[in-house]
């Protein structure tokens, strides 16, 4: 059965509120810990996650012009600046207060908005070892977004690999090498993340 827009909006709002609660519980050391986003600490990821709520279209366009049209350079600059300017409480509140904000990425619609929040949330919670589990209904929505196009966009090198979830009935690919891990870890691999090695 297809997921409705109203259901996806409900999941987005719940994800933002839950992540805000997680952020509110972090120590100063955890805010400064590295995330799965290369070169960003937890605070830069949190700043980036709320950029779409805090910046108008015009301001975003101006920031992009200042970055020479390079989206990655622009998001990196803004995330670093906002992480330095906003307190941990303000960064968490930006998620909670905008739980129902209609922001969506330029491509992909509501499902991409959910993916943005879930994946960046995992970028924070996984390296911190918090053990947060994304609810199954959210995972099932997002696993449908794992396509060759997704892998190319996020530069995920999964050539010759089959992903097989150990906690859900889901797999992707037909490669000879099977990677069997919990679904949310496989989602991170598909979104181009490098996971910490097991202890």
- Domain boundaries along the sequence of the chain: 5-138, 146-199
pTM comes to 0.93
Task: Kindly calculate the radius of gyration of the chain based on its CA atoms and give it in whole angstroms.
Answer: 17
pLDDT of residue 123: 97
Q: What is the spatial distance between Cα 197 and Cα 12, in angstroms, rounded to a whole number?
A: 29
pLDDT of residue 101: 96
CA dihedral 100→105→110→115, nearest 10 degrees, is: -90
**Could you count the other beta carbons within 10 Å of the beta carbon of residue 88?**
18
Closest CA to 145 of 116, 115, 107, 119: 115
Token reading at 183: 């679904």
Closest CA to 16 of 120, 107, 108: 120
Residues linked to residue 171 through DSSP beta bridges, in sequence order = 164
pLDDT of residue 187: 97
Segments of the chain with pLDDT less than 50: none
Q: What is the spatial distance between Cα 72 and Cα 162, in angstroms, rounded to a whole number?
A: 29
Identify whether the C-beta of residue 159 lies closer than 8 Å to the C-beta of residue 175.
Answer: yes
pLDDT of residue 197: 65
pLDDT of residue 198: 57
Identify whether the C-beta of residue 178 lies closer than 8 Å to the C-beta of residue 166.
Answer: no
Token reading at 33: 């810990």
Residues 6+ apart with CB under 8 A from 197: none
Instruction: Find how far residue 20's CA is from the centre of its chain.
Output: 14
CATH level 2 (architecture), domain 5-138:
Up-down Bundle (1.20)
């Amino acid at each position: 059965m297809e997921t409705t827009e109203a259901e996806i909006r409900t999941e987005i709002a719940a994800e933002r509120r839950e992540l805000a609660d997680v952020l509110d519980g972090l120590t100063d050391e955890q805010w400064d810990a590295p995330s799965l986003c290369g070169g960003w600490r937890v605070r830069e990821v949190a700043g980036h996650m709320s950029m779409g709520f805090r910046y108008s279209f015009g301001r975003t366009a101006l920031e992009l012009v200042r970055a020479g049209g390079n989206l990655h350079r622009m998001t990196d600059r803004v995330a670093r600046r906002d992480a330095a300017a906003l307190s941990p409480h303000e960064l968490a509140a930006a998620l909670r207060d905008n739980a129902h904000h209609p922001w969506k990425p330029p491509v992909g619609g509501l499902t991409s908005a959910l993916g943005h929040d879930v994946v960046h949330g995992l970028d924070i919670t996984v390296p911190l070892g918090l053990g947060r589990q994304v609810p199954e209904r959210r995972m099932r929505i997002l696993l449908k977004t794992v396509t060759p196009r997704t892998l190319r966009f996020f530069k995920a090198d999964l050539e010759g690999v089959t992903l097989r979830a150990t906690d859900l009935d889901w797999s992707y690919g037909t490669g000879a090498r099977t990677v069997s891990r919990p679904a949310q870890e496989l989602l991170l691999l598909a979104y181009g993340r490098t996971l910490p090695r097991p202890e």
